[in-house]
Chain A
Amino acid sequence: QVQLVQSGAEVKKPGASVKVSCKASGYSFTNFYIHWVRQAPGQGLEWMGIVNPSGYYTDYTDYARKFQGRVTMTADTSTSTVYLELNNLKSDDTAVYYCARDADFRYYFDYWGQGTLVTVSS
């Protein structure tokens, strides 16, 4: 069965960086895009970007304009893992970060990770 398993919760200080992992299993890793979506406490869902793990376009990425220059999404095909790195953290980056599998190259999401809480606090 398809599973996306994310790394554990993180606590960071303002200005620091965080790297969250998402390990995929149960399907062909290189055949599906992975997106990152975040949700601040009590708030809605915010799309951050996409990474294509395919070997054809190595680590093809596209980021939401809001995060460009501060975010990096990468994929490791040897471990079927994608990573989200967010730099220069601010308090309003406190959120649950989800990885989600793209359904059929359509930019909607058929499987989600369990979420990783990132808390930014001095």
Chain B
Amino acid sequence: AVQLTQSPSSLSASVGDRVTITCRASQGISSALAWYQQKPGKAPNLLIYDASTLQSGVPTRFSGSGSGTDFTLTISSLQPEDCATYFCQQFNGYPLFGPGTKVEIK
């Protein structure tokens, strides 16, 4: 079965910084990857699907890239409201989520 890992597990960055989160699949999943943002006490929110397609209404500072086994989520200029946990999810088969990356503001 496919396994997903994310790195780092947490990070602290300043407002305006460029932030990159990595998701790695244990076997190739083509571009069947989504990214979600989850704030404390809230449901996840879809940011990116098909590895690089921005969901409607999501700010353009969020972007995704990759295919096969290696994927990245980039926040081009970190904003205070981006403080959250980010999960990747593969959908090449049954859904499976990565363990998450917690993003904090320095």
Say yes or no: is B68 at the interface (Cβ < 8 Å to chain A): no
A44 to B95 Cα, complex, angstroms: 13
Partner of B46, one of A46, A103, A113: A103
- From B59-67, B70-78, B86-94, the one touching the partner chain is B86-94
A12 to B89 Cα, complex, angstroms: 30
Instruction: Give, as a whole number of angstroms, the nearest-CB distance from B58 to chain A.
Output: 11
Task: Knowing A106-B91, A108-B34, A110-B55, say if A44 contacts B44 (CB, 8 Å).
Answer: no
The size of the chain A interface, using a CB distance under 8 A, is 19
A110 touches B46 (CB 8 A): yes
B93 contacts across to A, CB distance below 8 A = 107
A103 contacts across to B, CB distance below 8 A = 46, 49
Please list the residues of chain A having a beta carbon within 8 angstroms of any beta carbon in chain B: 35, 37, 44-47, 64, 98, 100, 103, 106-110, 112-115
